[in-house]
Structure 1
């Protein structure tokens, strides 16, 4: 396990191109699931043709449960709206169907959403403006975070209280105590949820989620401005130069956005790695 120092700040939901303390900038799309469900139901073929790339269509068709299908689709819509808007502002218009968002193959970044494009030239263009994306959803919202510089992870959960049994399963007694002191902006019953979304966003930024179990990330020490996490990283993974988390509340949800700034040898910001379709 690696010990990682994480700065954190309670904040409003970052807007377009908001600089992050850990390096780079992040843009957020917060999309109601009901909106996607209604638009898709009204014209399924046209909606698929507008938003989905050829590589994504078989994935959608394999999702048998309608609720899951809409949640998957909403994540792709949120991501593509962000990427297309970023490119449009740079004078480089791209249609959503020219981009694909698929889960990575098993490995060091298993499950990390991977953004790909129709051609190597387009991949290079997008890579200059997008270095990472992360997706999350609840029953009500799909959320995408887009980073320009470094890596990003996002998580969102409804405000809820963890049962004693669930707390014992996912947290140590020390983590429960630390959450009580570190997240005092939330009601006592919701501080466990705050710690959960912070952990999940952090692990998503590294591309591993809880791949190694609930103990993948453990909060060892914390104060109101920073925490020390012991994190199990894949072999050879770069822990980054600076790590930060912004968290807060939107409607009846808690969100967290983690930023991992790279540690390039030449002192310049790492470029995004974006591939073209196979």
Structure 2
């Protein structure tokens, strides 16, 4: 695998484990706990990890939007010239809002690096991140879902100072929300789904889960199917939160109409709080 472009991805100084330094396989962090594997540090331009256990075959990349913002107009233009394909450059030119342009670029960088690192790890492919082309599904319930020109599925989310991309051989959904008060009406709706006096310990634990994290779980499930909020979040009913971070859920009739497989092959979900952010990841069920 070729070296990561350190002009765009420069690890923060110091001996902390995990930043990508180059082609060596050992330079990508492998941790045991899923929570420990996800690092949200705005001072790090890029963080990549291959999520354990290994059979998951998932690669996660985090790009710091805060560090991109520091580069200024000329630095961002150089990044676009270095990393974007012709089609992506055309799309970038259509984005008028500065914040949206920055988030969009961060997301493309995260996706490209995740796909490149995943290919190096699992296929032995030496593919530069800049050669990975990211497109979006146009129209329909899956409109806007990111896809890449590689035999993998990807998921993408932005929040606050971070863009997070996940790449793997099967469908994946990921959502990130920074810690902030929920609108009162939405918080009440989420609370109505939980019973702090439920007989199940997992259900009681769910009632104690922060409302923002519950919302993040719902979005991650809908993203797994490629729908996002085009399907009402109420179609995802959370049923429990396990001590190891896994969450359980059941589909509503509206979701089943568009994704009937959700009844028999329900994806597995994990949720937790990382550095003041609420993160949920949904992936193919074990053995599914």
How many residues end up aligned between the 2 structures?
235
What TM-score comes out, normalization by structure 2 length?
0.70
Q: CA RMSD in A?
A: 3.0
Q: Give CA-to-partner distance per residue, 1:213-234, whole Å, 9 cap, x none.
A: 3323223x33536523224145
Residue 222 in structure 1 maps to residue 243 in structure 2: no
Which residue number corresponds to residue 50 of structure 2?
16
Name the SS for the 2:229 alignment partner.
coil
Aligned pairs for 1:85-234 within 5 A: 85-89=117-121, 90-116=123-149, 126-127=150-151, 131-147=152-168, 149-168=169-188, 170-171=189-190, 173-175=192-194, 177=196, 181-183=204-206, 191-219=210-238, 221-222=239-240, 224=242, 226-231=247-252, 232-233=255-256
Name the SS for the 1:135 alignment partner.
strand
Q: Give CA-to-partner distance per residue, 1:123-175, whole Å, 9 cap, x none.
A: xxx31xxx21111111211111111x32111111112332432323x536124
Distance 1:16 1:40, change over 3 A: farther
Higher normalized contact order (CA 8 Å, seq sep 6+, divided by chain length): 1
CA distance in 2, matches of 1:115, 1:70: 20
Greater strand proportion: 1
Distance 1:113 1:172, change over 3 A: same
Aligned pairs for 1:24-35 within 5 A: 24-35=56-67
Distance 1:105 1:233, change over 3 A: farther
Distance 1:205 1:94, change over 3 A: same
Name the SS for the 1:34 alignment partner.
helix
Name the SS for the 1:43 alignment partner.
helix
CA distance in 2, matches of 1:248, 1:69: 28
CA distance in 2, matches of 1:87, 1:218: 35
CA distance in 2, matches of 1:241, 1:19: 20
What TM-score comes out, normalization by structure 1 length?
0.73
Displacement after TM superposition at 1:37 (Å): 2.4
Aligned pairs for 1:250-261 within 5 A: 250-261=274-285
The answer as to whether partners of 2:222 and 2:233 remain within 8 angstroms in 1 is no
Where do 5+ consecutive residues of structure 1 fail to align?
1-8, 117-125, 265-278
Residue 72 in structure 1 maps to residue 104 in structure 2: yes
CA distance in 2, matches of 1:55, 1:234: 34
CA distance in 2, matches of 1:61, 1:137: 20
Where do 5+ consecutive residues of structure 2 fail to align?
1-32, 39-48
